[in-house]
Structure 1
Amino acid sequence: MAAPTCGSASAADPGTTFKLLLSCPAGLPRSRVSVKFDRSFDRIPHPDAALEESISEIWNQRLRQNPSLFNGTKFRYGGYSLHHKDDPNQEYCVSLHLGLTDYRTFVGTNLNPLWENFLVPSEDDPVCCQHTSSPLGNGAIVETSDEKIIVLQRSYNVGEFPGYYVFPGGHSEPEEVGIMGHKTYEDLAHLCARVSREMFDGIIREVVEETGVPAHSLTDPVFIGVSRREMNVRPTAFFFTKCNIDSNGINELYSRAQDGYESTKLHAVSVEELRGMNQRMPGCHNGGFALYELMKNFAKSL
């Protein structure tokens, strides 16, 4: 596991800068990633009452502009812990700490024009971001059979980073595992295992819906880390998967993608080409690319 690092794609665009919160260059399979789901990882309200009130004000403002907005529940990122398997290889495992949040609170904290006022001065990321919604997004680095990487160009109609390049992804959904809120669960360990599976199943679902590739064409994803956009401290978990279809075939499938409305074009590019696109990538996705390069460099060193 690599230590947290910061990076920047363009000093002129603060939206492209990132921090790596967790790097797993070996690529961790499902068996080595678990989830600790608990209300202790929920957001802590800010002591400034006026700042807290701005959450509702901004959400109501957004609703007036777009009455179709939906306040969906999301998993909140609250940090991670490491432990080793009790076996001869002593392989390390990651436990992601997740609470609950929702889209309304994300809009009112992370996307608030005063988002920096919600932060606490601390090098400890969960402490620094304890007053923000920080829903954990997900992203996939998908490598085609001809060794290209899939990148989507966002629609100019979306609210965040219109026209920018991103990897396929979105969010793992609490509703997918029957979580509607915090309550006393009879078998919390079983629930956490289901949430962990949803982390891996959810990213495959996002790739299929956004690119049109069939699920059976993708290898089981491996977890490569968590990056955070410096601007409005948005965290994203990244995974790596290979596709047995070449870039030409993927472009044909994209035209029939279920969620193609969020993007306008699919690009299958080389690593060198991708480096040239990073000034038009949100910071969390630039971080995803950095995690991918760390994984490739680690593989070369073996």
Structure 2
Amino acid sequence: MTETGIGSMPDADPLFEILVAFPAGLSASQVHVDFGSSHDRQPHPDRNLEGKIDEIWIDRLQRNPYLFNASKFRVQSGHICFLSLIQRNVITRTNDMESYGGYNYLPSEEGGGDDVCLCLGLTDYKTFVGTNLSPHWENFLNPLKDDIERYIHMSNPLGNGAIVETEDNCILVLKRSRNVGEFPGHFVFPGGHSEPQEIGILSHDLYEDNIELNRKIADEMYTGIIREIVEETGIPTDFLGTPLFIGLSRRILNARPTAFFFVRCSLTSAEVFRFYSQAQHKFESTELNSIPRENLAGATANMPGCHQGGAFLYALMSKSKTKQ
């Protein structure tokens, strides 16, 4: 479903789409992965357009030496993915269930709602810059196709973002520095990407239909978001709770997908600020802010659309708790 960005007028153009939402939050055991080369990006048939990927990357490197290429997980938005949960942590392809936009609902064995399976392939940051972030990014879309095929030529790395709520009920927001590749100077939630290299994935070789690896990738989504919070804010892991997956947002501009997690922090905002100066990746931001959670909806105007979607997912979660 498409939602208008929080804080914008009802008749404003939407800045994000909510691909899937879990207001109650999903634990790691409820999130599954189908990893394979069938979920990779397909090159665009226009060779001139495809050739611009390298040109754009070289130009961006010359203008920003902080950028570097690395592999990323790609969220599938191009093909129908047929999946069925036949036992805990075991995913096999069947012909009776369809997945759209890179995810599929599965019956939960925990009785708390649906599980979800993400269809993931591999891409890299260079291809992301040359497709999604290209000045010609819309040329990579299939305009006459439905959503299943529309994004098949896009890199679509699965970003992650964390709604970190402090002990004094504030939400942490960073202001991005000029050293980053996306939206410098804008406000964002802590986050980045889960990293294939963290679990030893360098290519698809030897990994097709590997059930154990699928579980490791799903777990990396959760360990990866904690790693991003620690690196960007300096908060020690011991003060962070277990992440809950609350949904997927896609920015309309550049078709940028991001998975959002809710994470409770046992520190107050003042205590968090003391750790920020020690953050390993502090160069990626210029300031850390804490926003009272009741004021978050009015503070998203300077956020990229995908992060406005994250704020919307948090609002859904908050409303769900209020009704309980």
TM over 0.5: yes
Gaps of 5+ in 1: none
Report SS of the residue matched to 2:180: coil
Alpha-carbon distance in 1 for matches of 2:218, 2:310: 20
Deviation at 1:123, TM superposition (A): 7.8
Of 199-208 and 276-285, more deviation after overlay is shown by: 276-285
Q: How many residues are aligned here?
A: 296
TM-score, normalised to structure 2's length? Answer: 0.86
Of 265-274 and 33-42, more deviation after overlay is shown by: 265-274
Aligned partner of 1:250 in structure 2 is: 272
1:298 aligned onto 2:295:
no
Aligned partner of 2:230 in structure 1 is: 208
1:1-302 equivalences in 2 (<5 Å): 4-8=1-5, 17-66=15-64, 69-78=67-76, 79-86=102-109, 89=111, 91-121=113-143, 125-185=147-207, 188-302=210-324
Alpha-carbon distance in 2 for matches of 1:299, 1:125: 32
Gaps of 5+ in 2: 77-101
Check 1:269–1:135 CA distance in 2 against 1; reply closer, same or farther (3 A cut): same
Deviation at 1:65, TM superposition (A): 3.4
- CA-based RMSD of the aligned residues comes to 2.1
Deviation at 1:55, TM superposition (A): 1.1
Report SS of the residue matched to 2:301: helix
Whose helix fraction is larger, Structure 1's or Structure 2's? 1
Deviation at 1:69, TM superposition (A): 3.6
TM-score, normalised to structure 1's length? Answer: 0.92
**For each residue in 1:112-137, what CA deviation from the matched residue of structure 2 results, as whole angstroms up to 9, or x when unmatched?**
11101111236854422111001010
**For each residue in 1:127-186, what CA deviation from the matched residue of structure 2 results, as whole angstroms up to 9, or x when unmatched?**
221110010100000000010001111113434212211000010000001100111238
Alpha-carbon distance in 2 for matches of 1:156, 1:62: 13
The percent of aligned pairs where both chains have the same amino acid is 53
Report SS of the residue matched to 1:280: coil
Check 1:183–1:250 CA distance in 2 against 1; reply closer, same or farther (3 A cut): same
Check 1:15–1:114 CA distance in 2 against 1; reply closer, same or farther (3 A cut): farther
**Amino acid corresponding to residue 237 of structure 2 in structure 1:** A
Q: Is the contact made by 1:84 and 1:90 (CA closer than 8 Å) also made in structure 2?
A: no
Q: Is the contact made by 2:73 and 2:120 (CA closer than 8 Å) also made in structure 1?
A: yes
Alpha-carbon distance in 2 for matches of 1:165, 1:201: 23
